[in-house]
Each structure stands twice: as C-alpha cells, then as structure tokens.
Amino acid sequence: MTKKRNKTITKLQAFFLIVQTQIGVGVLSLPFDVHKVAQKDGWISAFIAGIGVQLSIFLIWFLNKRFPSLHIFEINQKVLGKWVGSVTSLFYLVYYFGIFLLINLLATRIIKTWAFPHTPSWVFYLIFTFLITYICIETLRVIARFYVFVSLFIVLLIAISLTAYSLVDFRYIFPIGEAGISNILKGSKQVLLSMLGFEFLLFLYPFIEGDEKSILKTATLANVFVTVLYVFLIFTTLIFFTPTELNIVPEPLLYMLKSFHFRVLERYDLLFLSIWIVSVLTSLITYFYLTVKGMESFRKKRSNIPIYMLSILGYIILTFFPEDPFKLQRFSSFLTNLSYLFFCGFPLLLLIVSLLSKRKEGEGQA
C-alpha cells in the first residue's frame, strides 16, 4: 500500500503552475515560426494546437485517474514493474533535464541578441542556475505561491501587447484559410512546441486539492487560457506586420514593441523582455524541479546535496555547449520531436498496460 499523499496545492495554484510552465521561451518567436509555415492563418493553427493539447490532457487525466495519489515516476514503477519502470523514469528524467538545458540555451541566446551582445553566456547560466536552485530546494507549495504571484506579469504582458492595436490593419489576415489545411496543421505543430509544459500535470495530479473532475477542469482551463493567449499574440502580430515583414523578423513581438514611442517611456521591448525573463524562469524552475523529483524517486532519503550536484552538472554542460546556432537548432528540434513520446507516447503505453493488466492503485506490486 502506498501512503496517502497530502494534497498540498489549491486548484488556483495548479492552474498557474501549468500556465506559467507553458508560457516561456517560445512566446517571442512563436508568431514567426508559425507564420513561416501557416502564413496568415497562423492563428487557426494555434486553435488546432489547443485542441491537440486538450486531447493529451484527457489522456494524462485518464492515466492519473487510475492512480490518484501517485505521480508519473511512481506510476512508471507501479505499471511497468521495478526495472522497466525505473528505466522509463530515467528516460523522463533525462528528457526533463534536456528541456531544462534547452530553455537555458534559447533564453540566453535571445537576451544576448537583444540586450547584451558582449556579455559571455556563462554569466546568464550562472544567474539562472543560482535562482532556480534557490527555489527548487523548497516544497511544491512555495513554488506554487511564487508562480501565482508572478502571474501578475502575464497581465502586464497582455497590456503591453494591447498597445499595438492603435496601428493595426485587419486586412492582413484575409482571405482566411488561404494557406491550406495541410499547412495550417503543420503550423499547429509549431504552436504545440510552445505549448509544452501541460505535461506537468503528469506529476502535479496527486498534489492538487479536489476530486478528479475539478482537476480536469483546472487543466482544461489552463489550456484554454494559454491557447487564447497564443491566438491573441499571433493574431496581433499578423495584423500589425505586413506578411512580407513577418518573414524577416524572428522575434515579432519585440520588433512590434520596439516601434512604439510614448511620451514617458520608449523602448517597450526592453520592459517586455525583462518581464518575459520571469516567465522563462518559471518554465526553467518546473523542468529542474521535475528532474529533481525524478532523482528523488530513485532514493529514499531526501537531501539537498543531489540538487546542488545536479545544478552544478547542468551549469557545466551549459558552459561547454557549443555556441553554434545550427547545433542549437538541431538540439532543439531533436528534443521537441522527442517530446511527443513523453506527453503522448509513454502515457498512452502506461494507460494501455494498466488497462490490460487491470492494475490500479492499491493493488499489490508485481
């Protein structure tokens, strides 16, 4: 028998934990990436991606419903047995750590291109690593409190983006559906990558207060929020820039803000970037925290030393990573393609195995 886990975070906190993990490094370049494929119908792609995410949330929910007090690392062992389960957990752990490294690399690259071209990257890695380690040695509840508070910044991000509406032309998105269904679907794949983070639910599920249905509702609400936000951002950039302009601006949101001038403040993009950093930090914290929890599932005793070791290891890998944009690109696409396996493949496998073997929580381990 597994001991009853105490439910430590509220539904509101769970909502923001998921939302903050999803919104991260991808937001800035999202409209550009989507526009490359889906052209002026990028916003439809975002909707479709949202639906895809919702399906995955259903899958994760079905899996976790069968094991209401276990998180992913424990489900692995429960369903697949001790050895195979451990290997699967290890895969998850490495994947989470990889995503953590990737976000670090991408965020630092954007900061360097936009604000500090001459500052060496290791400075930023060091700051990120320090901040993340500082909060990851705490409980999930503290992290949740932090996330809820910094969600104030999302409102600010939306408010800043709203200023664009004084200079838009709605004709840019017409005719709707010109790109064709296959391109729109391909575009939604691009959006899906920016939506990664909802799979946090795999781990979060047993900690959320409330019954199964309200957890599903919370996760769905988070997904709806992020989808609508992305549609809004993509839509705004699509009607702000002409289609030809959009082809040459890799971070459209920043370029858009850069063009605004007001009496009191100029260069809104710097303000936006500074706030965006916090959103990136929250995603980083989630993935580092998941890695830490994955490690802890292998050992009984809880101690902070492995966390410090992990952060030092992460820092060393980051500093030795080649500063070659193409290698980064390859690493990025490799990990994002791999991610399907982790938010869809493995959960599906686990669900099927547990259904076939009729294994549910509370029954003896094989």
Partner 1 sequence: MRKLLKRKSKKTTKSRPYFSHPENHEPVSTNMEENKRFVEEQLFHTSDLFHKELTFNGKKILLLYLRTLVDQEKLQNFVIRPINRTKAGELSETINSSEVINTSDLNEAIVGLMKGHCILISENSETIYIVSVIANKYRNIDQPVSEQIIRGSHEGFIESMLVNLYLIRKRVENRNLTIKYFTLGKATQTKVALVYVNNLANPEIIKEVEKRLNAIDTDSIQSPGFIEEYIEDSPYSPFPQLLNTERPDRTGGHLLEGRFAIVMEGSPTVLIAPITLFAFYQSPDDYNSRWYIGSFFRTVRLASFLISMGLPAIYISIVSFHFEVIPIDLIFQIKNSLENVPFPPLFEAIMMVIILELLREASIRLPPSIAQTIGVVGGLVIGTAVVEASLVSNTMIIVIALTAISSFVVPSNEMSTTIRLLSFPLMIGAATLGFFGIIFFLTLILMHLCKLKSFGTPYFAPFAPFNPEGIKDTFIRLPIWKMNKRPLDSRPQHLNRERFSRKWKKNDKETE
Binding site for partner 1 (CB under 8 A): 10, 12-13, 111, 115-116, 119, 123, 127, 131, 134-135, 138, 141-142, 144-146, 148-150, 263-267, 270-271, 273-275, 277-278, 281, 305
Judge whether 164 and 236 are in contact, CB under 8 Å. yes
Is the preceding peptide bond at 175 cis, omega within 30 degrees of 0?
yes
Which one, 275 or 317, has the nearer CB to partner 1?
275
Buried b (16+ CB within 10 A) or exposed e, 210-247: eeeeebbebbeebbebbbebbbebbbbbbbbbeeeebe
The greatest distance separating any two alpha carbons of the chain, rounded to the nearest whole angstrom, comes to: 70
Residue linked to tokens 């993340």? 132
Across 295-307, b (16+ Cβ under 10 Å) vs e yields bebeeeeeeeebb
Nearest approach, Cβ of residue 362 and partner 1 (Å) = 31
**Distance of closest approach, residue 344 Cβ to partner 1, in angstroms:** 32
**Residues 38, 186: contact at Cβ < 8 Å?**
yes
Of 51 and 115, CB closest to partner 1: 115
Least distance (Å) from partner 1 to the CB of residue 115? 7
How far apart CA 5 and CA 222 sit, in angstroms, is: 24
Please give the single-letter amino acid code of residue 71: H
Shorter beta-carbon distance to partner 1: residue 13 or 161: 13
Q: How far is the CB of 148 from partner 1 (least distance, A)?
A: 5
Q: Give the shortest CB-18-to-partner 1 separation in angstroms.
A: 16
Q: Is 178 helix (H, G, I), strand (E, B) or coil?
A: coil
Q: Which is nearer to partner 1, 58 or 134 (CB)?
A: 134
Alpha-carbon gap, residue 223 to 287, rounded angstroms: 18
Q: Residue 32 CB, nearest distance to partner 1 (Å)?
A: 23
Closest to partner 1 by CB, 259 vs 337, is 259
DSSP-derived letter for residue 261 is B
Please identify, using beta-carbon distances, which residue of 277 and 349 lies nearer to partner 1.
277
| Cβ 145 to partner 1 shortest distance, Å | 4
C-beta closer to partner 1: residue 84 or 123: 123
Residue type, 322: P
Closest to partner 1 by CB, 76 or 108 = 108
Q: How far is the CB of 223 from partner 1 (least distance, A)?
A: 21
H helices present in 242-298, as ranges: 243-246, 252-258, 268-296
Query: CB–CB of 57/219 below 8 Å?
Result: yes
